[in-house]
Structure 1
Amino acid sequence: MDFRFGEDDETFRRTARAWLEEHPYRGSGAREWERELGRGGWIGIGWGTGAYGSRTATLVQQVVWAEEYARAGAPARTGHIGENLLAPTLFAHGSRAQQDRYLPAVARGDAIWCQGYSEPDAGSDLAGIRTAARRHGDTYRVTGQKIWTSLARDADHCFVLARTDPAARRHHGLSFLLVPMDQPGRIEVRPIRQMSGTAEFNEVFFDGARAAEIVGGEGNGWRVAMSLLALERGVSTLAQQIGFETELRRVIRLGVETGAVDDPVIRAGLVRLWAELRTMRWNALRTLGGAGDDGAPSVAKLLWGGWHRRLGELASGVRGATATVGPRPWRPDAYELDDLQRLFLFSRADTIYGGSDEIQRNIIAERVLGLPKEPR
């Protein structure tokens, strides 16, 4: 299989690289950066022909943009949930009115979205959610709790999977609702402090919060939600690998500087990670554009989740005993970590969030290999 990019793709790469060089991120803030991307037409490049003022790009060119964005060291996107998850879902399942109502603001970089799926007792087992939505005139009132919600503190809206039919069980009777986050007294967001000292995730409590929109019709939330989850393993996986490559190079450089690569076990581990990263890239390119129901998304998640955990472990091995000591050990109240320490701690979650390894293996076994389902 030929994994090379074509001439048009390389022309697109030069355009993307030039724009990023002319518009470097200068710490202006996440929202202003999103607006800068919007003004450049770089949000929604995969939505279709000039949809809502965006540039147009083929699937391969979307990969090129994601790679150049990562190589430029640009900041993590706060608008990616609206652009890469909500928008394709609205194109596939929403009405034209819903698309016109919500997507222009996403394309401008003016709207931040978050995802309300996981719950304390329904993480990987998404069909077990308990958050309820009851009809109230022309709207719905949402009551319940979501957890591990990225960007909830900054988001303007949240798409929420909730149970609209209290008599239904499991994946039946669920609906996909669009909920404004600016509802004081009805929505509470609590940051979750992690062992890395950061708080990327949040708990979100809904107390009769208003939801004016359902995507895909009442009771069809499971179908919409599964369609959206397949999108999480698309183009972004290749961009993610650029970040992984940067981290791996940092670990290799440190190993050379400290002499840790002279240890045959460390050296073999680094070579293995390098080879596996190349294999992941080829696999991602091979499956790019798949429908998401052939097990490829689950295979990709298994590959990169385990790989990143092993990188974190090897980073600590390269550091040796100093990996357990902060930059200011005489200040135990100052919880400061360097990049490699944060890598180790955060990567412990890679095989859990976004669908645990156990769930991914079940999906592959049942949907791809045709093995019997686990008894429930």
Structure 2
Amino acid sequence: MDVGVSVDVPDVLVVDDGHLRANWPYLRARLRAGLVNHDLTVVFASLGAGQRIRDLYGIGAVPALVVIDVEPDAEDIAALTKLEVVAGVTGGGKLAVADRLAERGIVFVDGSRGRARSQAEMAIGLMINALRQICTWHNIIAAAGPWPRPSWQFTDHPSFVNGTVCGKQVAVIGMDLVGRAVIGLCVGMGARVWAVDPGVEETDFQEVGARRIQLDEVASVADIVVVAGNSSTPPLTGEMVARLASRTLVVTVRGGGIDLVALRARVLADELFWATDVYESVPVAAGDPILGRGNVIHTPGIAACTREANLAVADILTANIDRVLRGGPPLRWDCVPAVTVEDTSGEPAGGPAADELINRIGAAGVHPWSR
């Protein structure tokens, strides 16, 4: 247990699953500094095997709980008798005990919105890589040396949608912060964009420059489909995936929003191109036929793993906890601080988190950077 300042019972208890330094290397220091700057005391605790939040010392008097990659259960909430606010990042965007919190008037703050920009930019990166076959040509040059072909020849994959984002017909599934950011980037690059989200007002579509369509219309308008929806977004069903035109590029950076099994079947049949950061199960088995295909670009769940996302999440948690503990309302769901290059508080890349990451990746024979 690491205590931000010496206290018996803190204003804020931060609980993680034991992997905070590896998975969130910049969040810890940033969150502690922000809370202390607001005159709040803070304790960090990692749960051991079989340990629950309710087992931690002084839990009954804690007014603010932050959970990072762990979820409190009903008994945990019952033990937190002074609780006013729960905040954190839990993966699903909604706690299983959300109704229990609401019954007691306890505010829940979802910090995962701080990752939205990183996820949106990853979607665009995957899209461009797929359209231009960047990863394929990188691997060819790495294996064969420069130049494996005359530099003026046409290089894109003619069997699938290719070329520039400009002029493409893009359908975005989901209009939360990730989807809205994707739409803004696509519109800015000259694409024509449609969007699907039954829970969003018409004015929201107009504000971001997208045309509203229904799920069953996606196949008729799009040559690129971006799945940005979370688990609450109605998905493209298997029947809808079956109707996507051959050559369509599907980009997935979140697990909700599409039938991944149906998508995989069409990708394995060489009918669709798939650029993805998410999968049906993790990790992907070494012999999985989806790996190494010419119509697939895959990354290992890294869309939200940036320093800026770490810092933005910390800032969202800090601002909302301070507001609630002082008797005010939390910030709107779409309020996300802009993190600039100068905002560098957090553990340096060469610290314990980097050592752990290098050891984990090094065991696989791949080194992301030199030391």
TM-score by length of 1: 0.27
Q: Which fold has the larger relative contact order, with Cα–Cα distance below 8 Å and residues 6 or more apart in sequence?
A: 2
Structure number with the higher helix fraction is 1
TM-score by length of 2: 0.27
